[in-house]
Amino acid sequence: MPHHDSLILMLVAGFVLAFVFGMAAVRLKLSPLLGYLLAGVAVGPFTPGFVADGELAPQLAEIGIILLMFGVGLHFSPQDLMRVRRIAIPGALAQIAVATALGWGVGRLMGLGDAEALLLGFSLSVASTVVLIKALEQRGQMKSEVGGIATGWLIVEDLVIVVALVLLPLVVGASGDTFDLASLGLSVGWTLLKVVVFIALMLIVGGRVLPWVLTMIAHTRSRELFTLGVLAIALGIAWIAYFVFGASFALGAFVAGLVLNGSPLGHSAAEKSLPLRDAFSVLFFVSVGMLFDPMVLVREPWAVAAVLGIIVVGKTLAALAITTLFKLDRTSSLTVAASLAQIGEFSFILAGLGVSLGVMSDGTHDLILAAALLSIALNPVVFAITDRLSARATPPAEATS
């Protein structure tokens, strides 16, 4: 393949096949995200036919991650989280602990080391924002109390993963040499200090400068300049976070979105950047699909089933137990549990980081991707089962009232 054709061929194949597979998924009442991942499998090196540029795809995916995190920051609402904090915060932390423990146990049974088994469990602990929001919107529950709890729960999971993305390279780097707890503590402390300084500067200085910059751009009354300005802010701050403060691109983009979220033009910034974020997010999922070897389903069916069981059964039962403990009604408990019984973008990001750091093998990465594809496909089935259980529980409640 000529090098000068790589970008255009990657974009054409990625967008066209993502559209075709995404439409097919929607027709089957599945998440379009599943279609995007399958489009990546179709143009990946493990399937016959056209193979997209394997070096170019991760770079486009990195832009997708940055814009994805920028969007998370733009839509992050501390007020919404505080309203459901009594259930969402302890619930999310407890479910992360349960899923990580289950993943570690299954990983050890498969012969993985402690570090890889823990990372496997941690990668399975966080649900997909895209899948959850789409499911709640289809059910008309996005603005309901249960929708607020599920969204707040997911926000806590996302924040935990953001912190993990900052700390994981430090922990791996320290354990790669002769382990020194004092050196690790010093390295983590220094990095956290730089991250805190970055966030503080962004909230204090950026909180004043960025809204002013957006207002100046808005006064030009140029839609193109405003969209370009929002994109420049997201990518520029992500770059500053990485090269100046040693944080990740993802964290920088998240904080940029968080700052703009509180500005008067934050809603307009979110609206204008949405098409571009959607486009690069699609390329991110396509690039993830390219890394997936479908033969893992044939080589290791029991391992895939075990990992899938953690996501669909383990996380569902954990969420159901936690919400019941907090005295949430049965219907709401079942809805929250079903909405979290899948994994997606943050699991891919964390697993990809694990592979790049040498902590996770390609085989374990394939297990996570396989379980993710299956969990997204099965999520409507999980909702159907919980709806039936909820319907069975409703008549007795009405009879006693």
Digit-by-digit pLDDT tens for the chain (401 residues) are 445 667 788 888 889 999 999 999 989 888 888 899 899 999 888 888 888 777 777 777 778 778 777 877 777 767 777 787 888 889 899 999 999 999 999 999 999 998 899 999 999 998 887 788 778 877 887 778 888 888 888 888 878 887 888 788 877 765 554 445 666 677 777 777 888 888 888 878 877 888 888 888 888 888 888 888 888 888 888 888 888 777 778 778 888 887 777 677 777 777 777 777 788 888 888 888 888 888 999 999 999 999 999 999 999 999 999 988 888 888 888 888 998 899 988 888 888 888 888 899 989 999 999 999 899 888 888 888 888 887 776 655 444 44
Domain ranges of the chain: 71-265+299-392
Q: Looking at 246-314, list the stretches that DSSP marks H as alpha helix, in order from N- to C-terminal side.
A: 249-261, 266-290, 296-299, 301-309
319/338 Cα distance (integer angstroms): 9
Structure tokens at 278: 């959607």
What is the pLDDT, as a whole number, of residue 365?
A: 92
- The H or E element containing residue 224 is helix 223-243
158 contacts: CB under 8 Å, gap ≥ 6: 72, 126, 129, 346
pLDDT digits (tens, 9 = 90+) for 209-249: 888 888 888 888 888 888 888 888 888 888 888 887 777 78
Question: Residue 284 has what pLDDT?
Answer: 84
Q: What pLDDT score was predicted for residue 381? A: 87
pLDDT of residue 173: 65
User: Given this model, what pLDDT does residue 3 score?
Assistant: 56
Instruction: Report the C-alpha gap between 352 and 331 in whole angstroms.
Output: 36
3-state secondary structure of 264: coil
pTM of the model: 0.81
Count of other CB atoms within 10 angstroms of residue 55 = 8
Looking at the domain that runs over 71-265+299-392, which CATH code has it been given?
1.20.1530.20
Phi, psi of 357 (to 5 degrees): -85, -5
Q: Pinpoint the alpha helices (H) of 177-222.
A: 181-201, 207-219
Q: What 3-state class would DSSP assign to 64?
A: helix
User: What pLDDT does residue 217 have?
Assistant: 86
| Per-residue pLDDT, 169 | 80
d(CA 355, CA 364): 9
Residue for token pair 């049965």: 330
Q: Name every residue whose Cβ is closer than 8 Å to that of residue 55 and which is 6 or more positions away in sequence.
A: none
B/e letters for 322-345, b = 16+ CB within 10 Å, e = fewer, are bbeeeebbbbbbbbbbbbbbbbbb
Distance CA 132, CA 130 (A): 6
pLDDT computed for residue 398 by the predictor? 46
- Cα 154 to Cα 76: distance, rounded to the nearest angstrom: 11
What is the residue whose two structure tokens read 């302890």? 90
How far is 154 from 96, CA to CA, in rounded Å?
11
